[in-house]
Structure 1
């Protein structure tokens, strides 16, 4: 059973999922700190290249199944036009200003 995006606990994570699902690149970038970083399956990746390839040019979409760590860790079904659908985990570091400084994802 998926959790409705509007019910996600952490406001920054909720906005992240909303921006991904709306294919809102500009809104997505505004959620991140200027020096934000990310990792995929344990390897640091170039943030701009990754989000272009894995989210915005391939119609990425998140359906959240479970949240923990006060809403900053998710288990979700992620799908895009490149890879299809897979079960994934997402972990977020949210700063005091409410912006995301790092996210890590990978297959769950």
Structure 2
């Protein structure tokens, strides 16, 4: 797994590797506009995970997921990590657990 200093650097590198879809986290699925694609936990795999801590507050963290859908589409999900993260279904929480 490659290491990146910034979120922007990681996103740029992943896009160059074909991770072009931008996913948004919903309660029980990932959503991608403008195609209105919905991916439930069984519909995708997490290829890599990158975590970035805030410069001034280590509690202000962001996590970047490199995702490959079962249909072959590849994209990224950027989300808050920890206290600021959204409430999601248990299945989605299990899928996004950093191991």
| Bin of the TM-score, shorter chain as denominator length | 0.3 to 0.5
User: Which structure has more helix as a fraction of its residues?
Assistant: 1
Structure with the higher fraction of residues in strand conformation: 1
